[in-house]
Amino acid sequence: MLVNRLKEVWKEITLLSTWIASITGAFIIPLPSWYATDDNTAFLMKFGVFIATALAGFLILYSLKHKMIRTWMRLSLQFLLMFVGIYATYHFFREANTLPYVDNDIVIGSELIANNPFDTFKESHGFLPERKERMLILLGDPEKAWTKDSIVSNRIQLIIMLFLCYLLSAGFIISFCNLIILYKEKYKIKIEEN
C-alpha cells in the first residue's frame, strides 16, 4: 500500500521536475542575441518561452487521468515529429532572415529601402561581398538597408517559431517521461504476477 502510493508520488515528482527543468531551461539556455532597436525583444523571447513551457505543463494534469500507454506513445511521437518540423523551419528561417556581425546574428528584413547601401557599394567597387559579409557594409545596423516593418515582421516570425520549438520540446519530454513511467509500471505488474 505504502509502496504503491510512493510510486504514484514519485511519478508526479518526476513529471513536475521535468516541467520545472523545462521552465528553468528557458531562462538558462542562451537565446540568440539579435540586434534590436527595441529593448523588449530579449524579454519577449524569454517570457514567450516561459509561457510556452507553462502551457506544456498542462500535460501533467492530463497525465493524472490518462494512464494509457498507447495515448502517451502517440503523443510522444506527435510532439517529436512536430518539434523536428518546427525546428527545421526555424533553422531555415533563421538562416534566411539573419546575417552574422561580430559574433551576433542580426535579424534582417525582406524588403530593401530605396537607397540601400548595397547598390552604392556595388557601383563603387564593382562587386558585392558574399551574403555573410554584407552586414559589414552596414556596420551592424539592418535599418540602413531594409525597411523597419520587414525587420519587425521577420523578428516576430522567428520569435513565434522559437516559442513553438520550446513548447513542442517540453511537450515531448513530458509525454516521453510519462510513457517510460507507464511502461515501467506495466512490466513491474507483469513480473509480480509471474
CA 123 to chain centre: 41
Burial class of residue 79 in the structure, from the number of CB atoms within 10 Å of its CB (0-12 exposed, 13-18 middle, 19+ buried): buried
Residue 111, classed as helix, strand or coil, is: coil
- Please tell me the distance from the alpha carbon of residue 167 to that of residue 160, in angstroms, as a whole number: 11
What's the average model confidence in pLDDT over 87-94?
A: 90
pLDDT digits (tens, 9 = 90+) for 14-37: 666 666 666 555 554 445 555 555
Give Dmax (Cα) for the chain. 84
Number of domains in the chain: 1
Identify the domain containing residue 55 by its residue range: 2-193
- Give the separation between CA 97 and CA 161, rounded to whole angstroms: 13
- pLDDT recorded at residue 110: 92
Share of the chain above pLDDT 90, in %: 14
Residue 38 has pLDDT above 70, yes or no: no
In this prediction, residue 77 carries a pLDDT of 96
- H helix and E strand count, the chain: 7, 2
